[in-house]
Chain A
Amino acid sequence: MSGMTMSEKILARASGTPHVRAGQIVDGYVDLLYMHEMLALAIKPFDEIGVGRIWDPSKCVVTVDHWVPPPNEQIARMHQAIREFCWKYGIERFHDVGDHGIIHQLVVERGYVRPGMLVIGSDSHTNMAGAMGAFAAGIGVTETAAVMATGKLWLKVPETLDVRVDGRLSSRTGAKDVILRVIQTTGDDGASYKAVEFHGGTIHDFPMNERFVLSNMTTEMGAKAGMVPADGTTREYLRELGAESEALDADSDARYLRAYDIDVDGMGPQVACPNNPANVKPVEEVAGTKIDMAFVGSCTNARIQDLRAAAEVLKGEKVAARVRMVVTPASQAIYRQAMKEGLVEVFLDAGATFTSSTCGPCFGGHMGVLAPKEVCISSTNRNYPGRMGSPESQVYLGSPYTVAASALYGQITDPRGA
Protein backbone atom coordinates (compact mmCIF):
# COMPACT_ATOMS: atom_id res chain seq x y z
CA MET A 1 0.00 0.00 0.00
CA SER A 2 1.48 3.33 -1.06
CA GLY A 3 1.74 6.27 1.29
CA MET A 4 -0.73 9.07 1.88
CA THR A 5 -0.91 12.70 0.82
CA MET A 6 -1.40 15.37 3.47
CA SER A 7 -5.17 15.41 2.76
CA GLU A 8 -5.41 11.64 3.05
CA LYS A 9 -3.54 11.63 6.38
CA ILE A 10 -5.66 14.39 7.89
CA LEU A 11 -8.98 13.07 6.60
CA ALA A 12 -8.11 9.54 7.76
CA ARG A 13 -7.56 10.82 11.27
CA ALA A 14 -10.60 13.14 11.18
CA SER A 15 -12.85 10.28 10.07
CA GLY A 16 -11.43 7.78 12.53
CA THR A 17 -9.93 5.37 10.02
CA PRO A 18 -6.29 4.32 9.62
CA HIS A 19 -6.16 4.79 5.88
CA VAL A 20 -8.18 6.65 3.25
CA ARG A 21 -7.72 7.09 -0.48
CA ALA A 22 -8.63 9.87 -2.89
CA GLY A 23 -12.17 9.33 -4.15
CA GLN A 24 -13.52 7.86 -0.92
CA ILE A 25 -16.40 9.72 0.77
CA VAL A 26 -15.88 10.10 4.52
CA ASP A 27 -17.62 11.79 7.43
CA GLY A 28 -15.05 14.26 8.72
CA TYR A 29 -15.23 15.30 12.36
CA VAL A 30 -14.34 18.98 12.54
CA ASP A 31 -11.53 20.24 14.80
CA LEU A 32 -12.22 23.92 14.22
CA LEU A 33 -15.30 25.63 12.77
CA TYR A 34 -14.94 29.33 12.13
CA MET A 35 -17.58 31.80 11.02
CA HIS A 36 -18.05 35.44 10.10
CA GLU A 37 -21.23 37.36 9.20
CA MET A 38 -22.56 34.29 7.39
CA LEU A 39 -23.32 32.95 10.88
CA ALA A 40 -26.20 35.45 11.05
CA LEU A 41 -27.73 33.71 8.03
CA ALA A 42 -27.02 30.23 9.42
CA ILE A 43 -29.10 30.83 12.56
CA LYS A 44 -32.41 30.15 10.81
CA PRO A 45 -31.38 26.76 9.33
CA PHE A 46 -29.66 25.92 12.64
CA ASP A 47 -32.92 26.57 14.50
CA GLU A 48 -34.83 24.54 11.89
CA ILE A 49 -32.55 21.53 12.41
CA GLY A 50 -33.73 21.83 15.99
CA VAL A 51 -30.96 20.27 18.09
CA GLY A 52 -30.98 23.25 20.47
CA ARG A 53 -27.23 23.19 21.18
CA ILE A 54 -23.91 23.48 19.39
CA TRP A 55 -22.04 20.18 19.17
CA ASP A 56 -18.93 21.72 20.81
CA PRO A 57 -18.79 25.51 21.34
CA SER A 58 -15.10 25.26 22.32
CA LYS A 59 -14.30 24.25 18.72
CA CYS A 60 -15.98 27.34 17.26
CA VAL A 61 -14.46 30.75 16.51
CA VAL A 62 -16.56 33.73 15.45
CA THR A 63 -15.69 37.24 14.38
CA VAL A 64 -17.22 39.91 12.18
CA ASP A 65 -15.09 40.95 9.22
CA HIS A 66 -17.03 41.66 6.03
CA TRP A 67 -18.65 44.89 7.15
CA VAL A 68 -16.83 46.37 10.15
CA PRO A 69 -18.07 48.56 11.73
CA PRO A 70 -21.57 48.07 10.28
CA PRO A 71 -22.27 50.51 7.43
CA ASN A 72 -26.06 50.27 7.70
CA GLU A 73 -28.89 49.00 9.85
CA GLN A 74 -29.25 45.69 8.00
CA ILE A 75 -25.65 44.76 8.78
CA ALA A 76 -25.95 46.10 12.33
CA ARG A 77 -28.83 43.66 12.80
CA MET A 78 -26.65 40.81 11.51
CA HIS A 79 -23.93 41.68 14.01
CA GLN A 80 -26.53 41.88 16.77
CA ALA A 81 -27.88 38.44 15.88
CA ILE A 82 -24.33 37.01 15.90
CA ARG A 83 -23.53 38.51 19.31
CA GLU A 84 -26.72 37.17 20.86
CA PHE A 85 -26.16 33.73 19.28
CA CYS A 86 -22.60 33.47 20.65
CA TRP A 87 -23.70 34.48 24.13
CA LYS A 88 -26.68 32.13 24.07
CA TYR A 89 -24.74 29.07 22.92
CA GLY A 90 -21.55 29.72 24.85
CA ILE A 91 -19.11 30.46 22.02
CA GLU A 92 -16.32 32.04 24.04
CA ARG A 93 -13.94 32.68 21.15
CA PHE A 94 -16.17 35.44 19.75
CA HIS A 95 -14.12 38.43 18.61
CA ASP A 96 -16.41 41.44 18.34
CA VAL A 97 -15.78 44.83 16.71
CA GLY A 98 -12.51 46.24 18.10
CA ASP A 99 -11.06 42.79 18.80
CA HIS A 100 -11.78 41.63 15.26
CA GLY A 101 -9.83 40.72 12.17
CA ILE A 102 -10.46 39.14 8.80
CA ILE A 103 -11.24 35.68 10.06
CA HIS A 104 -8.57 33.79 8.11
CA GLN A 105 -5.93 36.08 9.62
CA LEU A 106 -7.50 36.07 13.07
CA VAL A 107 -7.46 32.27 13.40
CA VAL A 108 -3.79 32.01 12.46
CA GLU A 109 -2.54 34.97 14.50
CA ARG A 110 -4.28 33.69 17.64
CA GLY A 111 -2.81 30.20 17.27
CA TYR A 112 -6.21 28.54 16.79
CA VAL A 113 -5.06 26.55 13.73
CA ARG A 114 -2.52 23.80 14.18
CA PRO A 115 -1.01 21.21 11.85
CA GLY A 116 -3.15 18.16 11.15
CA MET A 117 -6.46 19.82 11.99
CA LEU A 118 -9.64 19.53 9.91
CA VAL A 119 -10.64 23.20 9.70
CA ILE A 120 -13.96 24.30 8.21
CA GLY A 121 -14.86 27.94 7.64
CA SER A 122 -17.90 29.79 6.32
CA ASP A 123 -15.82 31.49 3.63
CA SER A 124 -14.13 30.46 0.42
CA HIS A 125 -10.67 31.64 1.52
CA THR A 126 -10.62 29.18 4.42
CA ASN A 127 -7.97 27.47 2.27
CA MET A 128 -5.50 29.94 3.83
CA ALA A 129 -5.35 27.97 7.08
CA GLY A 130 -3.84 25.12 5.03
CA ALA A 131 -0.53 26.99 5.19
CA MET A 132 -0.30 25.71 8.77
CA GLY A 133 -0.33 22.10 7.53
CA ALA A 134 -4.07 21.76 8.18
CA PHE A 135 -6.85 20.58 5.85
CA ALA A 136 -8.94 23.73 5.61
CA ALA A 137 -11.98 24.13 3.36
CA GLY A 138 -14.84 26.59 2.95
CA ILE A 139 -18.57 25.87 3.08
CA GLY A 140 -21.82 27.87 2.82
CA VAL A 141 -24.57 28.89 5.19
CA THR A 142 -26.73 25.75 5.33
CA GLU A 143 -23.78 23.46 5.84
CA THR A 144 -22.39 25.79 8.53
CA ALA A 145 -25.67 25.26 10.38
CA ALA A 146 -25.36 21.51 9.90
CA VAL A 147 -21.78 21.41 11.22
CA MET A 148 -22.79 23.46 14.28
CA ALA A 149 -25.51 20.90 14.93
CA THR A 150 -23.57 17.70 14.20
CA GLY A 151 -19.83 18.50 14.31
CA LYS A 152 -19.23 16.70 11.03
CA LEU A 153 -19.67 16.91 7.28
CA TRP A 154 -19.25 14.58 4.33
CA LEU A 155 -16.07 15.05 2.34
CA LYS A 156 -14.83 13.35 -0.76
CA VAL A 157 -11.14 12.72 -0.16
CA PRO A 158 -9.59 14.85 -2.92
CA GLU A 159 -6.94 13.99 -5.43
CA THR A 160 -3.85 16.15 -4.89
CA LEU A 161 -1.77 18.31 -7.19
CA ASP A 162 1.87 18.52 -6.16
CA VAL A 163 3.03 22.06 -6.95
CA ARG A 164 6.81 22.30 -6.64
CA VAL A 165 8.30 25.77 -6.79
CA ASP A 166 12.03 26.32 -7.04
CA GLY A 167 14.32 29.22 -7.82
CA ARG A 168 15.38 32.58 -6.46
CA LEU A 169 12.91 35.40 -7.06
CA SER A 170 13.83 38.84 -8.32
CA SER A 171 13.79 41.74 -5.83
CA ARG A 172 10.44 43.04 -4.54
CA THR A 173 8.87 39.79 -5.74
CA GLY A 174 7.19 37.33 -3.40
CA ALA A 175 4.48 34.77 -2.76
CA LYS A 176 1.73 36.83 -4.45
CA ASP A 177 3.70 36.83 -7.67
CA VAL A 178 4.41 33.11 -7.30
CA ILE A 179 0.79 32.14 -6.73
CA LEU A 180 -0.36 34.29 -9.66
CA ARG A 181 2.12 32.40 -11.83
CA VAL A 182 0.81 29.09 -10.46
CA ILE A 183 -2.83 30.09 -11.15
CA GLN A 184 -1.85 31.12 -14.67
CA THR A 185 -0.30 27.68 -15.14
CA THR A 186 -3.24 25.66 -13.81
CA GLY A 187 -6.15 27.96 -14.79
CA ASP A 188 -8.83 29.19 -12.40
CA ASP A 189 -10.38 25.72 -12.26
CA GLY A 190 -7.16 23.72 -12.53
CA ALA A 191 -7.54 22.40 -9.00
CA SER A 192 -11.32 22.08 -8.95
CA TYR A 193 -12.41 19.46 -6.35
CA LYS A 194 -8.71 18.81 -5.70
CA ALA A 195 -6.19 19.59 -2.99
CA VAL A 196 -2.92 21.36 -3.64
CA GLU A 197 0.33 20.68 -1.80
CA PHE A 198 3.24 23.08 -2.12
CA HIS A 199 6.77 21.77 -2.07
CA GLY A 200 10.19 22.91 -3.28
CA GLY A 201 12.99 25.18 -2.18
CA THR A 202 11.20 28.49 -2.69
CA ILE A 203 8.27 27.34 -0.55
CA HIS A 204 10.55 25.92 2.11
CA ASP A 205 12.30 29.29 2.42
CA PHE A 206 9.07 31.32 2.60
CA PRO A 207 8.13 32.61 6.08
CA MET A 208 4.57 31.98 7.31
CA ASN A 209 3.16 35.29 6.04
CA GLU A 210 4.15 34.32 2.49
CA ARG A 211 2.88 30.75 2.85
CA PHE A 212 -0.52 32.17 3.85
CA VAL A 213 -0.69 33.99 0.50
CA LEU A 214 -0.08 30.74 -1.39
CA SER A 215 -2.72 28.71 0.43
CA ASN A 216 -5.15 31.64 0.39
CA MET A 217 -5.20 31.87 -3.39
CA THR A 218 -5.49 28.15 -4.04
CA THR A 219 -9.17 29.15 -3.83
CA GLU A 220 -8.61 30.93 -7.15
CA MET A 221 -7.45 27.59 -8.62
CA GLY A 222 -10.77 26.08 -7.51
CA ALA A 223 -8.99 24.01 -4.85
CA LYS A 224 -10.78 22.36 -1.96
CA ALA A 225 -7.67 22.82 0.20
CA GLY A 226 -4.17 24.23 -0.29
CA MET A 227 -1.49 22.96 2.02
CA VAL A 228 2.09 23.73 2.94
CA PRO A 229 3.89 21.04 4.98
CA ALA A 230 4.27 21.88 8.66
CA ASP A 231 7.98 22.24 9.34
CA GLY A 232 10.42 24.18 11.52
CA THR A 233 9.06 27.51 10.25
CA THR A 234 5.53 26.47 11.30
CA ARG A 235 6.77 25.28 14.67
CA GLU A 236 8.62 28.54 15.33
CA TYR A 237 5.56 30.59 14.32
CA LEU A 238 3.33 28.64 16.72
CA ARG A 239 5.91 28.65 19.49
CA GLU A 240 5.83 32.46 19.48
CA LEU A 241 2.06 32.23 19.93
CA GLY A 242 2.52 29.78 22.79
CA ALA A 243 1.04 26.84 20.87
CA GLU A 244 2.35 23.35 20.28
CA SER A 245 3.10 22.01 16.83
CA GLU A 246 4.03 18.82 15.07
CA ALA A 247 5.69 18.30 11.70
CA LEU A 248 3.39 17.08 8.95
CA ASP A 249 4.04 16.28 5.31
CA ALA A 250 2.89 13.75 2.76
CA ASP A 251 4.58 10.34 2.70
CA SER A 252 7.44 10.18 0.23
CA ASP A 253 5.53 7.55 -1.80
CA ALA A 254 2.19 9.40 -1.73
CA ARG A 255 0.21 9.32 -4.97
CA TYR A 256 -0.45 12.61 -6.72
CA LEU A 257 -2.84 13.19 -9.59
CA ARG A 258 -0.33 15.48 -11.21
CA ALA A 259 2.88 17.34 -10.41
CA TYR A 260 3.75 20.85 -11.55
CA ASP A 261 7.35 22.02 -11.54
CA ILE A 262 7.35 25.80 -11.50
CA ASP A 263 10.69 27.49 -12.03
CA VAL A 264 10.62 31.02 -10.62
CA ASP A 265 14.35 31.71 -10.84
CA GLY A 266 14.75 35.41 -11.67
CA MET A 267 10.97 35.89 -11.96
CA GLY A 268 9.71 39.41 -11.31
CA PRO A 269 6.32 40.78 -10.21
CA GLN A 270 3.16 39.41 -11.84
CA VAL A 271 -0.25 41.04 -12.32
CA ALA A 272 -3.65 39.35 -12.90
CA CYS A 273 -5.58 41.40 -15.44
CA PRO A 274 -9.36 41.82 -15.74
CA ASN A 275 -11.53 39.82 -15.43
CA ASN A 276 -10.03 36.56 -14.24
CA PRO A 277 -7.35 35.75 -11.66
CA ALA A 278 -5.73 33.38 -14.17
CA ASN A 279 -5.26 36.17 -16.73
CA VAL A 280 -1.73 36.81 -15.49
CA LYS A 281 1.04 38.84 -17.15
CA PRO A 282 4.49 39.99 -16.06
CA VAL A 283 4.19 43.54 -14.68
CA GLU A 284 6.28 44.93 -17.56
CA GLU A 285 3.54 43.96 -20.03
CA VAL A 286 0.83 45.98 -18.27
CA ALA A 287 3.01 48.82 -16.96
CA GLY A 288 1.54 52.19 -17.91
CA THR A 289 -2.11 51.16 -17.42
CA LYS A 290 -3.77 54.17 -15.74
CA ILE A 291 -5.40 53.58 -12.35
CA ASP A 292 -7.94 55.43 -10.21
CA MET A 293 -7.50 53.52 -6.98
CA ALA A 294 -4.83 51.45 -5.26
CA PHE A 295 -5.86 49.07 -2.49
CA VAL A 296 -3.72 47.18 0.01
CA GLY A 297 -6.01 44.96 2.01
CA SER A 298 -7.80 41.58 2.39
CA CYS A 299 -6.93 38.19 3.87
CA THR A 300 -4.51 37.69 0.98
CA ASN A 301 -2.04 40.55 1.43
CA ALA A 302 -2.60 42.87 4.40
CA ARG A 303 -0.33 41.41 7.05
CA ILE A 304 2.32 43.52 8.75
CA GLN A 305 4.96 42.44 6.21
CA ASP A 306 2.65 43.60 3.40
CA LEU A 307 2.15 47.00 5.05
CA ARG A 308 5.92 47.29 5.53
CA ALA A 309 6.45 46.55 1.84
CA ALA A 310 3.94 49.21 0.77
CA ALA A 311 5.38 51.73 3.25
CA GLU A 312 8.93 51.06 2.02
CA VAL A 313 7.83 52.23 -1.44
CA LEU A 314 5.71 55.16 -0.22
CA LYS A 315 7.98 56.57 2.48
CA GLY A 316 8.58 60.27 1.89
CA GLU A 317 6.58 60.14 -1.38
CA LYS A 318 3.08 61.18 -2.43
CA VAL A 319 0.36 59.15 -4.10
CA ALA A 320 -0.13 60.47 -7.67
CA ALA A 321 -2.68 63.21 -8.36
CA ARG A 322 -6.13 61.84 -9.30
CA VAL A 323 -5.37 58.52 -7.58
CA ARG A 324 -6.64 57.49 -4.18
CA MET A 325 -5.09 54.82 -2.04
CA VAL A 326 -6.79 52.76 0.65
CA VAL A 327 -4.82 50.66 3.13
CA THR A 328 -6.76 48.23 5.33
CA PRO A 329 -4.89 45.92 7.73
CA ALA A 330 -6.09 42.32 7.94
CA SER A 331 -6.67 42.52 11.69
CA GLN A 332 -6.74 44.93 14.60
CA ALA A 333 -3.51 43.37 15.90
CA ILE A 334 -1.83 44.32 12.62
CA TYR A 335 -3.33 47.81 12.89
CA ARG A 336 -1.72 48.22 16.31
CA GLN A 337 1.64 46.93 15.07
CA ALA A 338 1.53 49.29 12.07
CA MET A 339 0.94 52.20 14.44
CA LYS A 340 3.89 51.16 16.60
CA GLU A 341 6.21 50.93 13.62
CA GLY A 342 5.16 54.33 12.26
CA LEU A 343 3.70 52.81 9.09
CA VAL A 344 0.34 54.52 9.51
CA GLU A 345 2.08 57.87 9.44
CA VAL A 346 3.91 56.94 6.24
CA PHE A 347 0.58 56.10 4.56
CA LEU A 348 -1.14 59.26 5.78
CA ASP A 349 1.84 61.44 4.78
CA ALA A 350 1.68 59.90 1.32
CA GLY A 351 -1.98 60.89 1.04
CA ALA A 352 -3.43 57.40 1.51
CA THR A 353 -6.31 56.59 3.80
CA PHE A 354 -5.80 53.98 6.53
CA THR A 355 -8.88 52.13 7.79
CA SER A 356 -9.90 49.75 10.53
CA SER A 357 -9.74 46.07 9.58
CA THR A 358 -12.51 44.87 7.26
CA CYS A 359 -12.96 42.76 4.11
CA GLY A 360 -14.85 45.84 2.81
CA PRO A 361 -13.51 46.84 -0.61
CA CYS A 362 -12.28 43.38 -1.67
CA PHE A 363 -15.83 42.11 -2.30
CA GLY A 364 -17.40 45.47 -3.16
CA GLY A 365 -18.98 45.76 0.28
CA HIS A 366 -17.95 49.16 1.67
CA MET A 367 -14.99 51.43 2.51
CA GLY A 368 -13.61 51.71 -1.02
CA VAL A 369 -16.07 50.47 -3.65
CA LEU A 370 -15.44 51.23 -7.35
CA ALA A 371 -17.61 53.39 -9.65
CA PRO A 372 -18.23 52.57 -13.35
CA LYS A 373 -15.12 52.81 -15.57
CA GLU A 374 -12.78 53.01 -12.59
CA VAL A 375 -9.59 50.96 -12.59
CA CYS A 376 -8.06 49.59 -9.40
CA ILE A 377 -4.79 47.82 -8.65
CA SER A 378 -5.40 45.67 -5.62
CA SER A 379 -3.50 43.30 -3.34
CA THR A 380 -6.65 41.17 -3.06
CA ASN A 381 -7.56 37.81 -4.60
CA ARG A 382 -10.31 38.10 -7.24
CA ASN A 383 -11.10 40.33 -10.20
CA TYR A 384 -14.27 38.87 -11.70
CA PRO A 385 -16.65 41.52 -13.13
CA GLY A 386 -18.17 43.67 -10.41
CA ARG A 387 -16.04 42.12 -7.69
CA MET A 388 -15.08 45.47 -6.12
CA GLY A 389 -18.17 47.43 -7.10
CA SER A 390 -19.56 48.46 -10.48
CA PRO A 391 -19.63 45.68 -13.11
CA GLU A 392 -18.02 48.26 -15.41
CA SER A 393 -15.01 48.74 -13.11
CA GLN A 394 -11.76 46.86 -13.66
CA VAL A 395 -9.48 45.21 -11.13
CA TYR A 396 -5.81 44.25 -11.54
CA LEU A 397 -4.31 42.02 -8.86
CA GLY A 398 -0.74 42.40 -7.66
CA SER A 399 1.54 42.37 -4.64
CA PRO A 400 1.61 45.18 -2.05
CA TYR A 401 4.90 46.35 -3.64
CA THR A 402 3.25 46.59 -7.05
CA VAL A 403 0.15 48.30 -5.62
CA ALA A 404 2.21 50.93 -3.78
CA ALA A 405 4.51 51.63 -6.74
CA SER A 406 1.47 51.98 -9.01
CA ALA A 407 -0.15 54.40 -6.55
CA LEU A 408 2.95 56.63 -6.72
CA TYR A 409 2.93 56.88 -10.51
CA GLY A 410 -0.82 56.71 -11.15
CA GLN A 411 -0.29 53.77 -13.46
CA ILE A 412 0.68 50.14 -13.10
CA THR A 413 4.37 50.21 -12.29
CA ASP A 414 7.15 47.68 -11.79
CA PRO A 415 8.06 48.13 -8.11
CA ARG A 416 11.68 47.16 -8.74
CA GLY A 417 12.32 50.60 -10.28
CA ALA A 418 10.10 52.63 -7.96
Chain B
Amino acid sequence: METRFQGRAWLFGDDISTDHIIAGKYLGSMDLKSLAEHAMENVDPQFSKKVRPGDILVAGSNFGCGSSREQAPVALKGVGLSCVIAETFARIFYRNAINIGFPLVECPALRGKVKEGDSISVDMAAGTITLASAERIPFAPLPPNLLDILRAGGLVPKLRQELAARPP
Protein backbone atom coordinates (compact mmCIF):
# COMPACT_ATOMS: atom_id res chain seq x y z
CA MET B 1 0.00 0.00 0.00
CA GLU B 2 0.90 3.68 -0.31
CA THR B 3 3.12 5.14 2.37
CA ARG B 4 2.97 8.74 1.10
CA PHE B 5 -0.09 10.92 1.50
CA GLN B 6 -1.22 14.47 0.90
CA GLY B 7 -4.44 15.99 2.17
CA ARG B 8 -6.27 18.72 4.04
CA ALA B 9 -5.87 18.76 7.81
CA TRP B 10 -8.77 18.41 10.27
CA LEU B 11 -7.78 19.46 13.78
CA PHE B 12 -8.88 17.81 17.02
CA GLY B 13 -7.68 18.18 20.61
CA ASP B 14 -6.27 15.89 23.31
CA ASP B 15 -7.87 12.72 24.71
CA ILE B 16 -10.11 12.00 21.72
CA SER B 17 -11.58 8.70 22.94
CA THR B 18 -13.08 5.81 21.03
CA ASP B 19 -16.45 7.06 22.33
CA HIS B 20 -15.81 10.31 20.44
CA ILE B 21 -14.69 8.46 17.31
CA ILE B 22 -17.56 5.98 17.08
CA ALA B 23 -20.36 5.70 19.65
CA GLY B 24 -21.17 2.44 21.44
CA LYS B 25 -24.54 2.16 19.71
CA TYR B 26 -22.86 1.39 16.37
CA LEU B 27 -20.73 -1.53 17.58
CA GLY B 28 -22.87 -4.33 16.18
CA SER B 29 -21.18 -4.08 12.80
CA MET B 30 -17.82 -3.76 11.09
CA ASP B 31 -19.33 -2.36 7.90
CA LEU B 32 -16.94 0.30 6.63
CA LYS B 33 -19.59 2.47 4.97
CA SER B 34 -22.14 2.60 7.76
CA LEU B 35 -19.47 3.16 10.44
CA ALA B 36 -17.94 5.92 8.31
CA GLU B 37 -21.23 7.86 8.32
CA HIS B 38 -20.94 8.18 12.11
CA ALA B 39 -17.20 8.86 12.38
CA MET B 40 -16.41 11.56 15.00
CA GLU B 41 -20.16 12.18 15.39
CA ASN B 42 -19.92 12.82 19.15
CA VAL B 43 -17.52 15.73 18.48
CA ASP B 44 -18.67 17.03 15.09
CA PRO B 45 -21.93 15.56 13.74
CA GLN B 46 -21.15 16.87 10.23
CA PHE B 47 -17.61 15.44 10.05
CA SER B 48 -18.34 12.56 7.67
CA LYS B 49 -20.02 14.94 5.21
CA LYS B 50 -17.17 17.43 5.22
CA VAL B 51 -14.21 15.06 4.78
CA ARG B 52 -12.77 14.47 1.31
CA PRO B 53 -10.83 11.33 0.37
CA GLY B 54 -7.19 11.67 1.37
CA ASP B 55 -7.75 14.21 4.14
CA ILE B 56 -5.65 13.91 7.29
CA LEU B 57 -6.83 14.06 10.88
CA VAL B 58 -4.41 15.90 13.17
CA ALA B 59 -4.90 15.49 16.93
CA GLY B 60 -3.20 16.06 20.26
CA SER B 61 -2.15 13.49 22.84
CA ASN B 62 -3.73 10.13 23.73
CA PHE B 63 -5.76 9.81 20.53
CA GLY B 64 -8.04 6.75 20.57
CA CYS B 65 -8.06 6.23 24.32
CA GLY B 66 -10.80 4.08 25.79
CA SER B 67 -12.18 0.88 24.37
CA SER B 68 -10.71 -1.85 22.18
CA ARG B 69 -13.37 -1.28 19.51
CA GLU B 70 -11.74 -1.75 16.14
CA GLN B 71 -14.71 0.08 14.64
CA ALA B 72 -12.87 3.30 15.63
CA PRO B 73 -10.02 3.04 13.09
CA VAL B 74 -12.41 1.32 10.64
CA ALA B 75 -14.74 4.37 10.76
CA LEU B 76 -11.83 6.78 10.18
CA LYS B 77 -10.46 4.70 7.32
CA GLY B 78 -13.98 4.32 5.93
CA VAL B 79 -14.63 8.05 5.88
CA GLY B 80 -11.66 8.38 3.52
CA LEU B 81 -8.91 9.76 5.75
CA SER B 82 -5.48 8.78 4.50
CA CYS B 83 -3.96 8.72 7.98
CA VAL B 84 -4.11 10.18 11.48
CA ILE B 85 -1.29 12.27 12.94
CA ALA B 86 -1.29 12.68 16.73
CA GLU B 87 1.18 13.61 19.43
CA THR B 88 0.55 10.20 21.01
CA PHE B 89 -1.90 7.34 20.53
CA ALA B 90 -3.59 4.97 22.97
CA ARG B 91 -2.15 1.51 22.57
CA ILE B 92 -5.09 -0.64 21.48
CA PHE B 93 -6.23 1.96 18.95
CA TYR B 94 -2.67 2.03 17.64
CA ARG B 95 -2.49 -1.75 17.17
CA ASN B 96 -5.97 -1.92 15.67
CA ALA B 97 -5.23 0.77 13.09
CA ILE B 98 -1.99 -0.86 11.92
CA ASN B 99 -3.72 -4.25 11.86
CA ILE B 100 -6.38 -2.99 9.42
CA GLY B 101 -3.74 -1.24 7.31
CA PHE B 102 -4.60 2.30 8.39
CA PRO B 103 -1.49 4.44 8.84
CA LEU B 104 -0.79 6.43 12.00
CA VAL B 105 1.93 8.98 12.58
CA GLU B 106 3.11 9.80 16.08
CA CYS B 107 4.61 13.30 16.00
CA PRO B 108 4.73 15.36 19.22
CA ALA B 109 6.61 18.15 17.40
CA LEU B 110 3.60 19.09 15.29
CA ARG B 111 1.66 20.86 18.06
CA GLY B 112 0.58 24.37 17.05
CA LYS B 113 2.07 24.14 13.56
CA VAL B 114 -0.98 23.13 11.54
CA LYS B 115 -4.17 25.09 10.88
CA GLU B 116 -7.48 23.53 9.95
CA GLY B 117 -7.66 23.08 6.18
CA ASP B 118 -3.88 23.32 5.59
CA SER B 119 -2.59 21.00 2.90
CA ILE B 120 0.07 18.74 4.42
CA SER B 121 1.91 15.70 3.21
CA VAL B 122 3.33 12.68 4.99
CA ASP B 123 6.05 10.22 4.04
CA MET B 124 5.68 7.20 6.35
CA ALA B 125 8.89 5.44 5.32
CA ALA B 126 11.12 8.53 5.41
CA GLY B 127 9.49 9.83 8.59
CA THR B 128 8.70 13.36 7.46
CA ILE B 129 5.67 15.64 7.45
CA THR B 130 5.74 18.58 5.03
CA LEU B 131 3.63 21.56 6.07
CA ALA B 132 1.79 24.06 3.86
CA SER B 133 4.74 26.44 4.45
CA ALA B 134 7.12 23.74 3.04
CA GLU B 135 8.62 23.32 6.53
CA ARG B 136 9.59 19.69 7.18
CA ILE B 137 8.91 18.05 10.52
CA PRO B 138 10.63 14.73 11.18
CA PHE B 139 9.06 11.88 13.15
CA ALA B 140 10.30 8.45 14.20
CA PRO B 141 9.17 6.01 11.48
CA LEU B 142 7.27 2.87 12.50
CA PRO B 143 9.37 -0.10 13.63
CA PRO B 144 10.07 -2.47 10.70
CA ASN B 145 7.61 -5.15 11.85
CA LEU B 146 4.74 -2.64 11.86
CA LEU B 147 5.75 -1.03 8.57
CA ASP B 148 5.67 -4.54 7.07
CA ILE B 149 2.09 -5.03 8.28
CA LEU B 150 1.07 -1.67 6.80
CA ARG B 151 2.78 -2.39 3.47
CA ALA B 152 0.97 -5.73 3.25
CA GLY B 153 -2.32 -3.87 3.74
CA GLY B 154 -2.93 -5.14 7.28
CA LEU B 155 -2.33 -8.12 9.55
CA VAL B 156 -4.62 -10.55 7.69
CA PRO B 157 -2.92 -10.13 4.29
CA LYS B 158 0.46 -10.22 6.09
CA LEU B 159 -0.37 -13.58 7.72
CA ARG B 160 -1.69 -14.91 4.41
CA GLN B 161 1.61 -14.01 2.75
CA GLU B 162 3.54 -15.75 5.53
CA LEU B 163 1.41 -18.88 5.34
CA ALA B 164 1.74 -19.01 1.56
CA ALA B 165 5.54 -18.69 1.85
CA ARG B 166 5.78 -21.59 4.29
CA PRO B 167 6.85 -24.94 2.83
CA PRO B 168 3.91 -27.39 2.77
Contact = CB atoms under 8 A, between A and B. Distances in A.
Interface of A: 25, 37-38, 41, 44-45, 48-51, 66-67, 72, 74-75, 78, 122-124, 126, 138-143, 145-146, 149-150, 154, 188-189, 192-193, 222, 224, 276, 363-365, 369, 382, 384-387, 391
A165 B27 CA distance: 37
28 contacts: A25-B143, A37-B27, A41-B30, A45-B155, A49-B160, A51-B163, A123-B67, A124-B92, A139-B96, A140-B68, A140-B92, A143-B155, A150-B159, A189-B65, A192-B88, A193-B91, A222-B65, A224-B91, A276-B15, A364-B19, A365-B27, A369-B25, A384-B66, A385-B19, A386-B24, A387-B19, A387-B24, A391-B41
A51 B156 CA distance: 11
Given A44-B30, A365-B24, A384-B20, A122 B68 contact: yes
Contacts, number: 127
Contacts of B43: 385
Interface string B107-151: 000000000000000000000000000000000000101000000
A2 to B, nearest CB: 25
Given A141-B30, A365-B24, A48 B156 contact: yes
B151 to A, nearest CB: 16
A156 to B, nearest CB: 8
Interface of B: 15, 17, 19-20, 23-25, 27-30, 41-43, 61-62, 65-70, 88, 90-92, 95-96, 99-100, 143, 145, 154-156, 159-160, 163
A3 to B, nearest CB: 25
A193 B92 CA distance: 9
Given A143-B96, A189-B90, A365 B25 contact: yes
A189 B93 CA distance: 13
Closest 6 CB pairs of A and B: A140-B70, A140-B96, A189-B62, A363-B24, A364-B24, A384-B17
Given A382-B67, A386-B20, A387-B19, 18 more contacts: A25-B143, A38-B68, A38-B70, A49-B156, A50-B160, A50-B163, A126-B68, A141-B96, A142-B96, A143-B155, A189-B88, A364-B25, A382-B66, A384-B65, A384-B66, A385-B19, A385-B20, A386-B42
Contacts of B143: 25
A397 to B, nearest CB: 13
B160 A48 contact: yes
B90 A222 contact: yes
Contacts of B92: 124, 138-140
A152 B154 CA distance: 17
A138 B99 contact: no
